[in-house]
Structure 1
Amino acid sequence: MDRFEARGKLWDAMDKEGLVIKVEDHVIRVPRSQRGGEIVEPLVSTQWFVKMKSLAEKAIGKMRGGDIVIEPQRFEKVYFNWLEYIRDSCVSPQLWWGHRSPVWYVEEHSREYIVARSDEEAAQIASEKYNGEAVTLKQETDVLDTWFSSGLWPFSTMGWPNEDAEDVKTFFPGSIMETGYDILFFWVARMIILSLWFTGEVPFHIVFLHGLIHDKHGRKMSKTVGNVIDLIDVVSSYGTDALCYTLLAGSTPGQGITLSNERIESNCNFANKLWNASRFIIGNLDKISDEERQELATVAISDFGQTDEV
């Protein structure tokens, strides 16, 4: 029975028994699903959790010991704050896609379960545990949390658990991980935690964090919000040079960048000025002597060197 239909019947039953005191209207905020628009309500259910404290301590130790550095360094404080006050993590969302939880329930023995790598291994463990008793095993339908699954990425994509795989020996651990600062804890920290647990090594030695792209109002660009800019249209209107310059000029490690058509148009005008100035110089090079050309080249190289030093 649908929850709303059940509530209506429950209310009718209470009213029939004379249990209803009064009816009042209340204005409340009703949370809804981001995608489907359905009303979202708490539901008490059984979930799987991972104890995180001991795992986090290893990840903290590697960062403090210098095995891993974060650029910009100010984000190390964020990393430590997350891990030092970490709570046990729920790892069993009810999704259609993902790594299925490696748990098998024993239907003949309520609340008992077996953890195994495969159906065959689960059956073997059950046979030994219940002395050959014929039991029915049903695998958990929940999947691993997205971030715990993706946290396996540094080594699971290299042929692990075969530690002798050529890719594992060649590419793990890596040198640098470049990603957005907003998933420092959700992804980066979990990659470090899981790599230390399963392999005993850190997955990389440098974490380089870039910023996020925001709209002109300072909001993170999102397809759901609908405030994204179609880069194909941008290139068609202003050209690739203006777009690239806008992204580069506003890019600072770990710092967000505000992107708008107005800003790109302004840089497009600047690029046109550079183009026109360059075209003027190139078009008049044949009117000056070789000595003057050499002098111009010397000045240009000198100015470029000073700019580079700054």
Structure 2
Amino acid sequence: MLVRRESYTHSYPHCWRCRQPLIYKGVSSWFVSTTKIRDRMLELNQEITWVPEHVKDGQFGRWLENTRDWSISRNRFWGSPIPVWKSDDPAYPRVDVYGSFAELERDFGVEVTDLHRPFVDELTRPNPDDPTGKSTMRRVTDVLDCWFESGSMSFAQVHYPFENAEWFEHHFPGDFIVEYIGQTRGWFYTMHVMASALFDRPAFRTCISHGIVLGNDGQKMSKSLRNYPDVREVFDRDGADAMRWFLMSSPILRGGNLVVTEQGIREGVRQALLPLWSTWYFFTLYANAANEGAGYDAKWSTASTHVLDRYLLAKLRELVEGVTAALDVDDIAGACDQIRGFLDVLTNWYVRRSRDRFWDTAGADTEEATHAFDTLYTTLEVLCRVAAPLLPLTTEEVWRGLTGGRSVHLTDWPVADDLPADHELVVAMDRARDICSVTSSLRKAGGLRTRLPLAELIVVTEGADTLTPFTGIIADEVNVKRVDVVELSGADSAEFGVEQRLTVNARAAGPRLGKQVQTVIKGSKTGDWSVDGEVVTCAGIELAEGEYSLETVVADSGRAETHATAVLPGGGFVVLDTEVTPELAAEGLARDIVRAVQQARRDAGLEVSDRISLTVLGGTEVWEATVAHQALIVTETLATQFGSAADLDALPGRGVEATVGDGTPVRIILEKL
């Protein structure tokens, strides 16, 4: 009779490759006594530079502290045989360990040509310690764990000590190795064991220990699962540099894990490859057009005194210094961050702010254009050399096209001292960029399109005098008629609807202030506090650093209908006049028309230097805008003949239709002259 039947669900070991169930059994094994050198391995670990640094005393250091004797034998047929021969008679024990072909040939009297099974197992000889001559020395059946061979890489790769002894002494330890974090228990560890035991030195000076590459399903990337984008499709669509940049700029080189997705790879294209290539394309397009197709004879120069050129070259110098310092300590992701930031400056600030300097309708062969071209040439040339290890194929194409040289990878690393230094200018211009970024966000939040001019921007910040030279640049970038810069210490913040708020950290202040902490908290909420320099007093009690936080916030000023206010990073704020007058609206419409005409030029396949005849048809609002701002339109579009009419249906069947402003229809008719 069956009294009870149950099923138990439990985890069961399976082979990670073939997925077959496994049965664990205790077997005899050969060991290396790593516990005997544990303390020395810990000492030698301190000589290694780890990236990320926490691995040294963290995952790797703790593994060394708890090291156990290392089992190096495996019960397999294929593999490097353990070079140990034992007597087959326990009555006459003997163990021989061999270290070379010569030793084997000496004892076995035959030429040894193959160390694999079954050939090596055929080497037998009488046991020299057996006077009866009946016992035989036979090789143990085990083979070496493959990690034993991997750990021998540093010297075995050059067949040391049998060959290349002098070379080995000058190339050991290795400069650096790189593998994923799991190798703290694998390759990193076995190499360290071998080097410590044999040479009393580390096997490597620097170790980059990256995170785990995960597939698009969040599991460890696996060839058997194919849980990752097809590499050849990525190469064909985005290029090998896209994949390389995606991996090297990611958190994986700082010890984090990384999920490989097509979206992530495409983001790398957007952040690095496209900005570099589009800047190169811009240079070639305008340089050729500036010299009527003969090509502009650009040269390496840092002579320009224009503030934008000086800023870019000083920023380039800081890039060279920063990337050099990062790569010197194997901070690959940090180097990528700096290049990405510089590319943003190059494309979204310098080129956009300098575009008019590269194209002069009166003839581009001017000193202003020359300095602009030379500065951009110099920047691209140096940038390609700096980014070459990270974007090897793209930089090669750009650099060879730019210089006509053989290869960017055969040039010298750039020297920062060849570029001008001006840190104060960099700080001030970066502050101006922050102001423009925050102001653009205000425009976007208010639905105020970029080409619509506004009346005024007020900037309240510390060091206002350093920003005064850049008010024209800021005004052009954010499209306002006037920029006023006010010193923060002398401004009435409440007038602009901005106030400071004090928050008391009760947990930090409580141990020092005791019961007074409640008084301080009440004072922070009622406004009974003040700031004198770096001294903060609340309810008559001076607060220590860490016991409070000061925050600048935007409150209701009663001017929300006509002004927008936002806080700047690092302190200060901006106030944008958002009122749109009819005059500003008309100019904005004219600028939108220019944008539509430029698109029509591109669609028609015109060169940037081609002159055109232009006719713009639209309603009354469009016609009035074209009349009021005719000079702007013809200058920006290279129109030598221009006409407009308040009749969208005039000249039927000609031109292209477009929308401008907030959806106003226009018809654009243009012809190349």
Q: State the TM-score, normalized to the length of structure 2.
A: 0.38
Output the CA distance in 1 between the equivalents of 2:202 and 2:274. 48
Return closer, same or farther for 1:172/1:272 CA change in 2, 3 Å cut-off.
closer
Displacement of 1:74 = 0.4
2:125 and 2:136 in contact (8 A); partners too? no
Q: In the TM superposition, what whole-angstrom CA distance separates every residue of 1:10-56 from its partner, at most 9, and x where no partner exists? A: xxxxxxxxxx9978352444433233343211223222222221122
Return closer, same or farther for 1:36/1:206 CA change in 2, 3 Å cut-off.
closer
Bigger Rg, structure 1 or 2: 2
1:106 and 1:113 in contact (8 A); partners too? yes
Structure 1 residues 234-273: aligned runs within 5 Å: 234-250=234-250, 252-270=253-271, 271-272=273-274
Query: What is the match of residue 174 of structure 2?
Result: 174
Query: What is the match of residue 76 of structure 1?
Result: 56
2:124 and 2:136 in contact (8 A); partners too? no
Return closer, same or farther for 1:43/1:124 CA change in 2, 3 Å cut-off.
closer
Greater strand percent: which structure?
A: 2
* Number of equivalent positions: 288
Output the CA distance in 2 between the equivalents of 1:108 and 1:161. 34
Output the CA distance in 2 between the equivalents of 1:126 and 1:198. 32
Query: What is the match of residue 63 of structure 1?
Result: 45
1:212 and 1:256 in contact (8 A); partners too? yes
Displacement of 1:148 = 1.8
Return closer, same or farther for 1:248/1:86 CA change in 2, 3 Å cut-off.
closer
Return closer, same or farther for 1:169/1:245 CA change in 2, 3 Å cut-off.
closer
Is structure 2 residue 221 aligned with structure 1 residue 221? yes
Output the CA distance in 2 between the equivalents of 1:176 and 1:283. 43
What is the SS of the residue equivalent to 1:206?
strand
2:158 and 2:164 in contact (8 A); partners too? no
Identical-residue share of aligned pairs (%):
21
Is structure 2 residue 33 aligned with structure 1 residue 51? yes
Query: What is the match of residue 26 of structure 1?
Result: 7
Displacement of 1:62 = 1.8
What is the SS of the residue equivalent to 1:129?
coil
Provide the alpha-carbon RMSD of the alignment. 3.6
Report 1 or 2 for greater relative contact order, CA contacts < 8 Å, sequence distance ≥ 6. Answer: 1
What is the SS of the residue equivalent to 1:128?
coil
Return closer, same or farther for 1:131/1:161 CA change in 2, 3 Å cut-off.
farther
1:214 and 1:256 in contact (8 A); partners too? yes
Query: What is the match of residue 71 of structure 2?
Result: 90
What is the SS of the residue equivalent to 1:138?
strand
**Unaligned runs of at least 5 residues, structure 1:** 1-19
What is the SS of the residue equivalent to 1:154?
helix
Query: What is the match of residue 316 of structure 2?
Result: 304
Output the CA distance in 1 between the equivalents of 2:95 and 2:66. 31
Output the CA distance in 2 between the equivalents of 1:248 and 1:202. 26
Displacement of 1:87 = 1.6
Matched to 1:284, the amino acid is: Y
Is structure 2 residue 194 aligned with structure 1 residue 194? yes
Q: In the TM superposition, what whole-angstrom CA distance separates every residue of 1:46-99 from its partner, at most 9, and x where no partner exists? A: 2222222112222112224x3x33232200122221111112222111233322
Structure 1 residues 119-130: aligned runs within 5 Å: 121=107, 127-130=127-130
Q: In the TM superposition, what whole-angstrom CA distance separates every residue of 1:126-177 from its partner, at most 9, and x where no partner exists? A: 6432236232233122111121221111112223233873433342333333
Return closer, same or farther for 1:246/1:103 CA change in 2, 3 Å cut-off.
same
1:103 and 1:140 in contact (8 A); partners too? yes
Return closer, same or farther for 1:244/1:127 CA change in 2, 3 Å cut-off.
closer
Displacement of 1:217 = 4.5
Q: State the TM-score, normalized to the length of structure 1.
A: 0.76
1:58 and 1:193 in contact (8 A); partners too? no
Output the CA distance in 1 between the equivalents of 2:126 and 2:42. 38
1:94 and 1:142 in contact (8 A); partners too? yes
